[in-house]
Structure 1
Amino acid sequence: MEMNVPVVVIGAGPAGMATALALHTVGQEVILLERYPEARPAGNILNLWPPPIRALGEMGVDIDDLGAPCHTTFRNARGAVRAEVRLPDDVVRDYGGGFIGMLRPELYRRMLAAMPEGVLRTGVTVARIEDGEGAARVHLADGTSIDAGVIVGADGIHSMVRTHLWGEEPIRSHRLHIIGGYTFADVPGAERNEVVLAHDRTVQGTYSSIRDRGRDGYQWWMVEAWDADRPAPDDLKAHAHAALVNFGSPLRDLVAATDPAHTQRWPIRDRVPLTQWSKGRITLAGDAAHATSPYAAYGAGMSIGDGYTLAQCLTGVDLADATAVATALRRYDERRIAHTTSQVQQAYILGKVFHHTPRPLRPLRDWVLDRTPLLQKQVGERSPGEIVAQLAEMGAGLAPEAPGARSS
């Protein structure tokens, strides 16, 4: 006999919201818990690749005019192209231009608009979790509990669920930080529908087009070496403007045009990837599973992909059947871990290459990047190949097979 137990998702970031939406689409009952009074974005700037765009659409999220379509090039500070990301024409056509630039709050707004009534519960603190043969249990700080067929820890880089499963692990500092912002100013020379990702000897300076609620603008960011225990700059905008001195206009003009209130900073850090996410009835998604550097440009996208894949694996599964649940979660691990680990490690290595190469070797590094196809093969060809592979792995999509499922 089936037991009416839900999937309980902890954390309402992109991973948690995507998991809840996708599970609802395939007919599983789901409860999404968020400790803050509302689901809120941790940052402002964002890019998405085609797989998460497709996933969002199948979950019922409005993806019409979601962001500005962008073509991506890696350049040196003088503007010479080192690598070009070439997505297939049909992928660009089918997914709103392929790679899109947008603001993170708009993604939250659209995902929340698609969320069924009663699924999201805010202001709820999880005290602890436990697994069991018949069901897992989520214990809340108010003394109540929720029985669950599956618990999904989408609770970020400091994940309590990950610690419960695999113990305490150190956070890996990249000894880098990112400062970024956005503006809707019309800055002369800024290229529309482009991601211009450039490096000088020590700094990455990037800008891309964005589209937000019908407005066209630009987001920008810079990355540089910065020890984790070093205090943040007092004036983020002034610091970024000065650090980008070798890049000239339009990048520095975009920084100058940005309202300081639209500027943020993040230390770059991750965790060494796990070889297993799931145990029993409990699993992970998003940053709890694979926190990654912005060098992947895929953190939110991978998180959305986690929720989508987990829903596919749990489609039609009786959550009262511990064996069936464990089998489904093993399939989820098999489909996600290799891909996300590759992205996390590549981002970590790129950060070291661009920002922690010893000073005497930097001219040689730049000669290789300027004169050989190394970067083109590593990011210009490998990244599109992985995008196409991810789209293929999504197969026929989210199929609402379980009783009571709604159409997607």
Structure 2
Amino acid sequence: MSTRTVKPGRVAVIGAGPAGMATALSVHQAGHEVALFERYPQARPAGNILNLWPAPIKALGLLGVDTDDLGAPCKTVFRNVQGRQRVVVNLPEDIIRDYGGGFIGLLRPELYERMLAALPEGVLRTDHSVQRVEQDESGVRLHFADGSVHEADVVVGADGINSLVRRTLWGESPIRQHNLHIFGGFILDDDIAAEPGLCLIAHDRSVQASVTEIRHQGRSGFQWWLLEAHDAREPYTGDLHARATELAGRFKSPVPDLVAATDPAHVQHWPIRDRKPIKQWSKGRATLVGDAAHPTSPYAAYGAGMATEDGYFLGRRLAGVDLTDYAQVRRALQAFETPRKPHTARQSQTAYVLGQVFHHAPKPLRPVRDAILDHTPLLQKVVGEATPGEIIKQIAEIDQAEAAFDAISGTRKKADPAA
């Protein structure tokens, strides 16, 4: 069935982060009317540093986002604090060639700029704070703080870890505190003396240090982050740059050098938390994407990437669907979430477990843990082999979704960057 035979439906997306913008782009390409509501005066990134794996890069290109020179190609290596290699994340050469590396390092503001530039005029509606969402078989109604109401056929909650849509559908669920926090920063300097193309993840007995090359608006540089255990009940009030400098001193170059060279204004801090995966995302005419569905620790380095994939797949599933037909909507939303849940739950849970293993192991067990990680292939199997497998699987699923979309729409919206 061609989308030309189906009257365009109306989709409302709440939250203009990567999940919301990707959803809006994909739904628009599917031929439906879409309104993307953001409560703030502008779509703004939460944080600065970011990595993107090949699958979301592929999705972005298909959604019409300019991915040229978006980030720096990197290859991921895990080492212990003495420099002993524990893991190498190896991807097939064709994927590295086609998508700019094992993954790319960049800053969040540029991703937002690129995605915003791809949005059709009039789709994004800022300063719209949704207070209540109602639905029945006939449609959805969004009630805003100013008293206005917006009607739609489908509503998508892309509104983050504290999602109003999730609470409306499934009630309250507790935030899972990891009792960890991160200090992260970046420096843009073409002359930095650090190994290009490397994502280094290093651990001592209780702290993680990471360094990734980045590209930002045509400039080269590096991002870094340092992660340690911290009681979530006690808000951190210390000097961010000073604490990052202290933690970086445990590691070899380039970690301490990059932290020392970073402008304190470019250092951020945030606690790590998530929510346990839920068994069902969709109900009636509503569904969830991104952190609203599966908030994920930065240990996965995949939060924004999975959010982008969610938006891409949801729009493809709605192509050719009569959104006024309640039964069709329910089938489409279920078809969207069914393959997404195992993938996102795996990433979320793996990230949680890794955080616990590296930062909350009892002190007497840490030498045993480190000996296992240094002298067995355990971490290589869990991270170095499982991660590439998931990435390859997601790329294959995008290929399948795009083939089905082309068959429905009768036209290819944007050439695959790998084609």
For the superposition of Structure 1 and Structure 2, which TM-score range results when normalised by the shorter chain? over 0.9
Q: Which moved more, 1:158-167 or 1:235-244?
A: 235-244
CA contact (8 A) 1:153 1:159 kept: yes
> In structure 1, which of residues 296, 301, 306 is the aligned counterpart of residue 310 of structure 2?
306
Separation of aligned partners in 2, 1:317 and 1:171: 35
Aligned to 1:18: 22
Aligned to 1:91: 95
Distance 1:27 1:4, change over 3 A: closer
Describe the superposition over 1:196-216 as per-residue Cα deviations: whole angstroms up to 9, x where unpaired. 100000000010100111111
- Structure 2 unaligned residues grouped into runs of 5+: 415-419
Q: Counterpart of 2:173 in 1: which secondary structure?
A: coil
1:159-238 mapped onto 2 (5 Å cutoff): 159-185=163-189, 189-238=193-242
**Is 1:158 equivalent to 2:162 in the alignment?**
yes
- Structure 1 unaligned residues grouped into runs of 5+: none
Taking every aligned residue pair, what percent have the same amino acid on both sides? 60
**Is 1:358 equivalent to 2:349 in the alignment?**
no
Describe the superposition over 1:325-349 as per-residue Cα deviations: whole angstroms up to 9, x where unpaired. 0000111110111100000000000
Describe the superposition over 1:273-315 as per-residue Cα deviations: whole angstroms up to 9, x where unpaired. 1010000000001110010100100000000000011011111
1:396 shift after superposition: 4.4
1:248 shift after superposition: 2.8
Separation of aligned partners in 1, 2:366 and 2:290: 34
Separation of aligned partners in 2, 1:400 and 1:119: 23
Describe the superposition over 1:152-197 as per-residue Cα deviations: whole angstroms up to 9, x where unpaired. 0000101010000010111000000011000023676521100010
**Is 1:316 equivalent to 2:350 in the alignment?**
no
1:395 shift after superposition: 2.1
Aligned to 1:112: 116
Q: Counterpart of 1:100 in 2: which secondary structure?
A: strand
**Is 1:149 equivalent to 2:147 in the alignment?**
no
Separation of aligned partners in 1, 2:356 and 2:46: 25
Which residue type is aligned with residue 308 of structure 1? Y
Distance 1:167 1:235, change over 3 A: same
Distance 1:3 1:58, change over 3 A: closer
Which residue type is aligned with residue 244 of structure 2? A
> In structure 2, which of residues 284, 293, 303 is the aligned counterpart of residue 289 of structure 1?
293
1:120-131 mapped onto 2 (5 Å cutoff): 120-131=124-135
Describe the superposition over 1:43-82 as per-residue Cα deviations: whole angstroms up to 9, x where unpaired. 0000000010000001100000110000110000111110
1:3 shift after superposition: 6.5
Q: Counterpart of 2:293 in 1: which secondary structure?
A: helix
Aligned to 1:136: 140
Q: Counterpart of 2:136 in 1: which secondary structure?
A: coil
CA contact (8 A) 2:153 2:323 kept: yes
Q: Counterpart of 2:367 in 1: which secondary structure?
A: helix
CA contact (8 A) 1:314 1:328 kept: yes
Count of matched residue pairs: 408
Q: Which moved more, 1:150-159 or 1:185-194?
A: 185-194
**Is 1:337 equivalent to 2:306 in the alignment?**
no
> In structure 2, which of residues 245, 252, 264 is the aligned counterpart of residue 248 of structure 1?
252
Tell me the TM-score normalised to structure 2 length: 0.94
CA contact (8 A) 1:72 1:197 kept: yes
CA contact (8 A) 1:51 1:387 kept: yes
Distance 1:379 1:101, change over 3 A: same
Q: Which moved more, 1:169-178 or 1:4-13?
A: 4-13
Distance 1:236 1:318, change over 3 A: same
**Is 1:368 equivalent to 2:405 in the alignment?**
no
CA contact (8 A) 2:314 2:333 kept: yes
Describe the superposition over 1:75-106 as per-residue Cα deviations: whole angstroms up to 9, x where unpaired. 00111110100011010011012300000000
1:397 shift after superposition: 4.7
Aligned to 1:66: 70
Q: Which moved more, 1:183-192 or 1:66-75?
A: 183-192
Distance 1:70 1:4, change over 3 A: closer
Which residue type is aligned with residue 319 of structure 1? L
Q: Counterpart of 1:40 in 2: which secondary structure?
A: coil
Which residue type is aligned with residue 361 of structure 1? L
> What's the RMSD between the two structures over aligned residues?
1.7
CA contact (8 A) 2:14 2:20 kept: yes
Separation of aligned partners in 2, 1:232 and 1:44: 19
Aligned to 2:82: 78
Aligned to 1:266: 270
Distance 1:304 1:188, change over 3 A: closer
CA contact (8 A) 1:176 1:227 kept: yes
> In structure 1, which of residues 42, 48, 52 is the aligned counterpart of residue 56 of structure 2?
52
Distance 1:117 1:154, change over 3 A: same
1:378 shift after superposition: 0.5
Tell me the TM-score normalised to structure 1 length: 0.97
CA contact (8 A) 2:248 2:259 kept: no
Separation of aligned partners in 1, 2:411 and 2:291: 28
Separation of aligned partners in 1, 2:413 and 2:62: 9
CA contact (8 A) 1:154 1:287 kept: yes
